[in-house]
Chain A
């Protein structure tokens, strides 16, 4: 073979090897993090850990029950707000591709997606914490729901846009009114895409700390009142990890493992559900 060609082929193979190496190197940090968190947190988790609140500094033991409850409650409330608003907006955008309102609305959703989470926290502070006189879980939930909206709107819009127009036509030709066409025919056919958008948005906000820093603020006690400050898993991790106390570090590791497991489980089940529920068009 011509030596020059040999050289070129060698270069090509070398490049491929380089790409493969670089690509797989990215797996290393992920594995390192997973391994470390599992190892550091697994030993800390037990029934006591899950059902007790943190003990004051100096006392061993304690748990993260307040953070668990807080995370569940705040994310649930955020979802209840964001899901209907997001889906309905997504429906509007997919149904009205060319209206002026759709253009500005879509632009707004794009902008919303890029807003840093701490800015959302600032805004939620001035909208809900200051006027109402104190930190509250509700303000935290609203901040989280604002972060969920762009994901839900986008995935709804993209899913519905992919549905064939013959679906709507068939329903309309049967004399169905518009709201039934959308709610009873179009949405059910797009359910897998919409559901995955919802689940991904929940996975995203479950791990968010910054929006809660000045809204829910955190709470060392178990609290189920949305009008008062509440603890959440990410907040607890942040506060306790950066503290100088080893006991609190232990709590933070346990909490990290639980949070990681929750987020990863949501991501994995999203994939499984999308596959099972995908309606053959």
Chain B
């Protein structure tokens, strides 16, 4: 007698992501989705859920009253203690462009990364308090 293993049912990502966004916010949900992608590499829809969360992060950043004309500045904390910030190469490059005068639209033009990823990195730097975006 042989028995075939019953494959695990696909999680209800729509509900899980919705609940996680509501209770834990975008960055926590984003980190959890990256973990889920490693656990379910063949699930194409998971890529979509990751993008929905990234999209929300970028949209929230652009919701700044000045939008693309907002001018990011390096935070006092970053200037005095930048060793604390464990920046990767992309984040480090973008930080090097921030001079307190260039607005988001100009940073997008100067950045070697695509517009979406440039804003995503800025949003990450903001949440980590490496930069501030004054109103």
On whether the two chains bind one another, the answer is no
Interface on B for A, CB 8 Å cutoff?
none
Interface on A for B, CB 8 Å cutoff?
none
